[in-house]
């Protein structure tokens, strides 16, 4: 087993998943202001440290994705990456610099951040990061995602992944096909498969060791403004069909993003996927909003109640962990 494969498995095995706290300062400002908290450096640290020091870190969280600001912060003179490592979780880092308008297809985006990446990775490794994340983002529409968006983002994801492995870290490959739109789940399946297949074509071309990677895809859902109603079992079937036809078997595991689903939807759908999972991949979570939303809301009204905030986060993390084993139910959710 390669060292990178060992790290990948440590992050996603044994009912564990990833806590995505890599919101950029701009996104975090929106999240905090939506609950009437001022987005200061100290408030961002205080909320995130509350999560990192929760009990469920040890049992439910195998990896934490950090943002550049957070990986360099300290809490009571302890470095954030070492606080995370002590819980048994692996510290990770978002290394893309965001999605920008794509020339010649201006409604679409291309993710940037390759320039100087090799040097930045060295710094992040020395700060304790052992995995990285890069998100390519795609829209669904009549002519979207376009071939330009599909090929350009796959190429960038593969170049990023190759550099991350060269630096001794595991790349999380995140091609996110957004939920926005009135498309059906079948269209989401078709477009997502196309996007993921192209990513693996590029990853293989650029000699990325797939056993030392983790895929972070969207689930297959109807568009957020479509009238289509489908059951959680159908979502699971379509998601598994997509992964079966587009992900090479060497990939050790898949950690879904929540992408705007509610906490319960993201938990329930992951649970359904694992109940019928007949593939060899581990299927777990790499949630941002679906792990943090309720905890953030409570904290915003009770800024000094660390324990109360952690209790809410622990419950959410435990529910996601059960879902990663197909053992979640409405009943355990209520207890
Ligand atoms: P959400 O789970 O909130 O979609 O965030 C995950 C993530 O890292 C998106 O890039």
For the CA of 22, the closest atom of ligand 1 is 8
Q: Which atom of ligand 1 is nearest to the CA of 258?
A: 2
The residue assigned the tokens 């951040």 is: 113
pLDDT digits (tens, 9 = 90+) for 206-241: 999 999 999 999 999 999 999 999 999 999 999 999
- Which residues are the active-site residues? 174, 216
Pocket of ligand 1 (CB under 6 A): 20, 22, 135, 174, 257-259, 287-290
Contact 102, 108 (CB under 8 A): yes
* Cα 83 to Cα 77, 80, 169, 323, 335, distances in angstroms: 10, 5, 19, 26, 30
Element (H, E) at 170: strand 170-177
Query: What are the residues whose beta carbons fall under 8 Å from the beta carbon of 180, sequence distance 6 or more?
Result: 139, 140, 223, 224, 225
The answer to whether domain 2-334 has CATH 3.10.129.10 is no
Residue 46's pLDDT is 98
Nearest-CA neighbor of 194 among 230, 131, 144?
A: 144
Ligand 1, closest atom to CA 292?
3
Q: What is the largest CA-CA distance in the chain?
A: 53
Whole-angstrom distance between the N-terminal and C-terminal Cα of the chain? 40
Ligand 1 midpoint to CA 20 (Å): 6
Q: What is the pLDDT of residue 277?
A: 86
Q: How far apart are CA 131 and CA 168, in angstroms?
A: 8
The string of pLDDT tens digits covering residues 22-37 is 999 999 999 999 999 9
Separation of CA 173 and ligand 1 centre (Å): 13
Tens-level pLDDT at each residue, the chain (335 residues): 699 999 999 999 999 999 999 999 999 999 999 999 999 999 999 999 999 999 999 999 999 999 999 999 999 999 999 999 999 999 999 999 999 999 999 999 999 999 999 999 999 999 999 999 999 999 999 999 999 999 999 999 999 999 999 999 999 999 999 999 999 999 999 999 999 999 999 999 999 999 999 999 999 999 999 999 999 999 999 999 999 999 999 999 999 999 999 999 999 999 999 999 888 899 999 999 999 999 999 999 999 999 999 999 999 999 999 999 999 999 999 98
What's the CA gap between 60 and 69, in Å, rounded?
24
Q: Assess whether the previous peptide bond of 145 is cis (omega < 30° from 0).
A: yes
């Amino acid at each position: 087993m390669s060292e990178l494969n060992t790290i990948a498995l440590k992050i996603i095995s044994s009912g564990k998943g990833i806590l995505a706290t890599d919101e950029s300062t701009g996104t975090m400002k929106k999240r905090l202001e939506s609950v009437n908290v001022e987005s200061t450096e100290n408030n961002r640290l205080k909320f995130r440290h509350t999560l990192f020091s929760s009990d469920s870190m040890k049992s439910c969280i195998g990896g934490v994705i950090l943002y550049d600001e957070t990986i360099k912060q300290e809490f009571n003179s302890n470095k954030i990456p070492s606080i995370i490592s002590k819980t048994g979780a692996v510290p990770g880092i978002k290394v893309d610099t965001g999605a920008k308008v794509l020339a010649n297809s201006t409604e679409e985006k291309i993710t940037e951040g390759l320039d100087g990446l090799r040097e930045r990775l060295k710094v992040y490794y020395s700060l304790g990061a052992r995995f990285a994340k890069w998100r390519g983002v795609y829209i669904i529409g009549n002519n979207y995602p376009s071939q330009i968006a599909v090929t350009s983002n796959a190429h960038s994801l593969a170049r990023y992944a190759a550099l991350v492995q060269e630096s001794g870290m595991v790349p999380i490959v995140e091609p996110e096909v957004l939920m926005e739109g009135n498309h059906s789940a079948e269209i989401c399946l078709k477009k997502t498969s196309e996007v993921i297949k192209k990513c693996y074509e590029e990853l293989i071309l650029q000699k990325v060791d797939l056993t030392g990677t983790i895929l972070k895809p969207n689930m297959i859902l109807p568009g957020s403004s479509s009238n289509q109603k489908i059951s959680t079992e159908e979502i699971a079937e379509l998601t598994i069909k997509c992964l079966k036809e587009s992900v090479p078997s060497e990939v050790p595991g898949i950690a879904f993003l929540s992408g705007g689903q509610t906490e319960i939807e993201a938990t329930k759908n992951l649970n359904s996927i694992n109940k019928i999972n007949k593939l060899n991949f581990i299927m777990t979570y790499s949630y941002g909003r679906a792990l943090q939303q309720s905890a953030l809301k409570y904290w915003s009204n009770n800024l000094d109640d660390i324990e109360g905030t952690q209790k809410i986060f622990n419950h959410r993390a435990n529910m996601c962990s059960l879902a990663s084993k197909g053992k979640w139910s409405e009943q355990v959710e209520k207890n």
